[in-house]
Chains A and B, each alone.
Chain A
Amino acid sequence: MPRTSVVESPGCPPLRALTTDILGLIKVVEARTKPAGVAKVVETWGAPDAPRAVLAASLADRAVDPVLAVARKNGVVELLNPLNGETLAGVNAAAGRAAPADSSAEEDPLATLHLFRRHALDSSMLGTFLACTEKGKAYVKSVAKENASSDMAVGPSSSWDVSNSGTVQFSSVDAGESYAMFGGKGIEVNLWDITSCSKIWSAKSPRGNSLQIFTAPWFTAGTFLCKDDHRKIVACTNNHQVRLYDTASQRRPVISVDFRESPIKAVAEDPNGHAVYIGTGRGDLASFDMRTGKLLGCFVGKCSGSIRSIVRHPELPLIASCGLDSYLRIWDTNTRQLLSAVFLKQHLTAVVIDSYFSTEELEETKSKQPDPVGAEVRKERKEKKNRTSEMDEDETRMLDHDDSDSEMHTSKRKKSGEKSKGMKKKSKKQQVA
């Protein structure tokens, strides 16, 4: 009989993660102790209400006024302040204005949501999101602040049909935020240009096997592999395959790897540009190197329910995963060790990480306890931090603001293309070496 041996989890560095669940609650989990500590639930926002279950969530993770968007079951996309949980706006994605739930949401619920990270052009806008329903209607919408005139609030918006048949199960937007990818049950992976709402590329299913057996496409998760290259796509199938597509070279997958025997439900990319993390319907979490298609390793530890969402911390070597076993788990990506697990009582649907969280600011706000100034301080600090660390990115952003919309995209695309070419050459050289 095995002896009892409790392996103490080493605890995770200061971190702030927000999870959403099927009761429509948003829970904030924070680890505050400096070198390593236990993550705990700090706040819970919202009242438990099943029809307002959160289906998808997205965080515009920036230093200045970050916004959290959640897609609810009744078809409403809510924008919240991720610092204090204030509801900033609620928009019915299908109807176009802040309307209560209608019957269309029941038969065609929202499947995916992405909130654009770049700032809106004028300050009256809260943010722009891309949402897609299960039947393949994609919407891009801008949401204005509450105090702006209400009817004009919904700014530039567009909608298009991703597909006519099948159900959309995932969408992903690349780092430059000009391309979106969709896929689902019966839908091959599609790449769309968001500005022109046109389909650029679609995948082709792989050839039948030696028995000429052909499996219908069923994609469950996908992501762009590199930050600066929108042409490498990792898509995971219900048929437990991880596939790498290169839209520049061919329509069939470049690499296809099998992983165990249950459908893959979530995927997240690593900022290093070649690793991905996948989670399956039986609660297996693993990382793959997509250059070779090799399994780097599994994240083992009592994870017993389907994984619905994985996020990589942009700076620290951490991933957070959550799913039907109601635990938020934080893992180290280097050692693949469980750092912390938080029990959150409900089936979780999504997790996002607020990367601009640090403990110093927390202490400051604590000392100045009941004040709105704390947030301001935090913002300022973050701005500074951001400027020093990500100077070049900010510059590009600034440029973007000045340019008109269409120009911005063309310039960006060129840039990304150049960059990616450079990268490619480099990688080839490396391979040769």
Chain B
Amino acid sequence: MAKERKRRQPADAPPPGDDDEGRDHRREKKPRKERPDPVLPSQIKNKDKRKEVHAKLKREKKAQKRKLARERGQAAQRAVELGEQPPEKLVPRTIENTREPDETVCRPDDQELFAGNDADEFNAVLKQQTTPKVLITTCRFNSGRGPAFIEELMQVIPNSCYVKRGTYELKKIVEYANNRDFTSLVVVHTNRREPDALLIINLPAGPTAHFKLSKLILRKDIKNHGNPTSHKPELVLNNFTTRLGHRVGRMIQSLFPQEPNFRGRRVVTFHNQRDYIFFRHHRYIFEMKENKIASKDKKAKTSESKSQPEKQVICRLQECGPRFTLKLLTLQHGTFDTKNGEYEWVHKPDMDTSRRRFFL
């Protein structure tokens, strides 16, 4: 008994400092039990005890959560049985849906936005006045996964060609590409035999975007990958909401031809989430498949099956081509010029004061 008491003492005791004499403590014990325990596990000095209390708290929390979930589930079921509207599903609070309000987010009714779009550098390509023609090159020392990545990138972007960098300066290559009527220039930068940056330059005068490239997985490392055809791909740009995002989205859009070949069933996705742009390349197929769920209640099925075939159209995806993540570092006004360049947007460390602020 005494032992137990001793052990319990530090747990129930108020934070060290206002520890009273033993007797007073024991006498006061009963009234204290009635009020909620204010002791946090982090305030306990004894590690074993702290662990124990922490585990107990965690267990309680988990049980509570499970209980609430069960209650919600039961309520929903009851509502369904009674034929009522089921209660609304709770939406988890994520960093994205608690994003800080941003005045730069584009609104669909903004006339100035459309006027700006008509005046920007990508307009000629996006209005199909010119066909995009992309030149792909590398940094000076290109090896490792760089060449393989470029090979796959050339399959992704139609009408693109690779030019060996040699020892030319990038400004010279921009000039070269301008003379040959290229509309964009993509530079894959490798560091330690690993592609780590992507530079997209819109030509002849357009902005230059510098992306960090990470999480590169090449086609052969993707399980059950498919091989893309040479059809013009469809393009999916997700979540480019702000002005800056809109501009970057348009820039990426201008790399691809604007009339996709739907027969090819090829999709290229740029999905923006929390300022990271995820690239995926898929083939899709629509297939007819038997509906398995319908077999459960036979009566309903038999009545329906006479009028309808018990088949359902499903879509299947097969990933092909590289998988990587981009993060915008800078957007420069004009073509590549690090020394004299003017930036439209630079990521600066003092902008990172909140996890809930995004720029794209």
Contact = CB atoms under 8 A, between A and B. Distances in A.
Chains A and B come from one and the same complex: yes
A305 B116 contact: no
A5 interface: yes
Nearest to A284: B348
10 contacts: A2-B352, A5-B353, A5-B354, A49-B115, A262-B343, A283-B348, A305-B344, A306-B333, A324-B343, A324-B344
Nearest to A341: B103
B333 A304 contact: no
Interface of B: 100, 103-104, 110-113, 115-116, 118-119, 243, 333, 339-348, 350-356
Contact of B355 (A1, A50, A301, A306): A1
A330 to B, nearest CB: 16
B240 to A, nearest CB: 16
Given A300-B350, A302-B351, A343-B104, A263 B342 contact: yes
B118 A301 contact: no
A23 B119 contact: yes
Contacts of A133: none
Nearest to A344: B112
Given A4-B354, A346-B116, 5 more contacts: A5-B354, A238-B340, A305-B345, A306-B344, A324-B344
A50 B353 contact: no
B346 A305 contact: yes
Contacts of A25: 112
Nearest to B355: A1
A265 interface: yes
Nearest to B357: A4
Q: Which of under 10, 10 to 19, 20 to 34, or 35 or more describes the interface residues of A?
A: 20 to 34
A301 to B, nearest CB: 7
A96 B306 CA distance: 85
Interface in A241-290: 262-263, 265, 281-283
Contacts of B340: 218, 238, 263, 281
Nearest to A343: B103
Given A1-B355, A22-B119, A48 B112 contact: yes
B103 A325 contact: no
Contacts of B118: 50
Contacts of B344: 305-306, 324-325, 347
A326 interface: yes
Nearest to B106: A345
Contacts of A347: 333, 344
A218 B116 CA distance: 31
Contacts of B347: 304
A324 B104 contact: no
Given A48-B112, A346-B112, A325 B348 contact: no
Contacts of A343: 103-104
Contact of A2 (B110, B111, B354): B354
A253 to B, nearest CB: 20
Nearest to A283: B346
Pick the 10 closest A-B CB pairs, nearest first.
Answer: A48-B115, A50-B119, A306-B342, A281-B342, A324-B344, A4-B354, A343-B103, A305-B344, A304-B345, A302-B351
A217 B343 CA distance: 22
A247 to B, nearest CB: 27
A342 to B, nearest CB: 9
A23 B342 contact: no
